[in-house]
Amino acid sequence: MDITDKVAVVSGGASGLGAATARRLASEGARVGILDFDAERGAAVAAEIGGHAVKTDVGDEASVAAAMSEIVDKLGAPRVAVSCAGIGLAARIVGREGKLSTDLFEKTIRVNLMGTYFVMSYAAREMMALEPEDTGERGVIVNTASIAYQDGQFGQAAYSASKGAIAAMCLPAAREMAKQGVRVMAIAPGLFNTPMMEGLPEDVTAGIVANVPFPHRLGEPAEYAQMVSQIVANPYLNGTTIRLDAAVRLPQR
């Protein structure tokens, strides 16, 4: 799909992979709506790229519904929806002295999985009401998993479960939306140089970088954004999860 003059919605567009995606799609001529919890940084990115930001909690359906209708009012119905909003909390299932991490599990599923599902659902409904392009496409949805969906590390049960579900729903969603010409893809990033990574202990980051075969470094957010752009451009990409990881496989810890 040619993105020029189209509307793209990016959740998590205030930071990291989402901000890079918002900038890239805007540079290709899209009008970009940013849905992010961080209103200040969301507004700053939106101002920089001539887009529109809405303070949104993606884990709250009513918040996503309201944000989507504000984007439609301000910019128009989206042809592209990219979900980058997410959290990366880690905890043992059974911690010290038997402390369970069920709260963390629930929160991670709510933000990462339900948040992605809500953005996809509300965007897809808008896309389905649009006329198809010459290619037959009405829209493109790109969700963000993580290589932790396959190589989950110690303490990542909640995160891996949330990302595994994002990868797993990609094919059934693509099959369901095929008739309307909406493609659904997921990207499973390796280790990228974003604020989310700053939260990790230094030795964890250094250990993972040591395992990255080539290029032997963290990924840059612009490289993730490039992948989104390539997915949008290529109509034959549908129903699958692409690992964008420089051949890294995460070790146990």
Ligand X SMILES: NC(=O)c1ccc[n+]([C@@H]2O[C@H](COP(=O)([O-])OP(=O)(O)OC[C@H]3O[C@@H](n4cnc5c(N)ncnc54)[C@H](O)[C@@H]3O)[C@@H](O)[C@H]2O)c1
Point out which residues bind ligand X (CB under 6 A). 12, 14-18, 36-38, 56-59, 84-88, 111, 115, 144, 146, 189, 191-192, 194-197
- CB closer to ligand X out of 178 and 200: 200
- CB closer to ligand X out of 6 and 224: 224
Whether 183 contacts 141, CB under 8 Å:
yes
- CB closer to ligand X out of 144 and 229: 144
Closest CB 37 distance from ligand X, rounded Å: 4
Distance CA 9, CA 30 (A): 10
Active-site pick, 117, 149, 159, 224: 159
Annotation marks residue 122 as catalytic: no
Closest CB 4 distance from ligand X, rounded Å: 25
Closest CB 133 distance from ligand X, rounded Å: 28
C-alpha Rg value of the chain to the nearest Å: 17
- CB closer to ligand X out of 130 and 188: 188
- CB closer to ligand X out of 138 and 243: 243
Closest CB 195 distance from ligand X, rounded Å: 4
Closest CB 191 distance from ligand X, rounded Å: 5
Write the secondary structure of the chain as one string of H (helix), E (strand) and C (coil): CCCCCCEEEEECCCCHHHHHHHHHHHHCCCEEEEEECCHHHHHHHHHHHCCEEEECCCCCHHHHHHHHHHHHHHCCCCCEEEECCCCCCCCCCECHHHCECHHHHHHHHHHHHHHHHHHHHHHHHHHHCCCCCCCCCCEEEEEECCHHHCCCCCCCHHHHHHHHHHHHCHHHHHHHHHHHCEEEEEEEECCECCHHHHCCCHHHHHHHHHCCCCCCCCECHHHHHHHHHHHHHCCCCCCCEEEECCCCCCCCC
Catalytic residues: 159
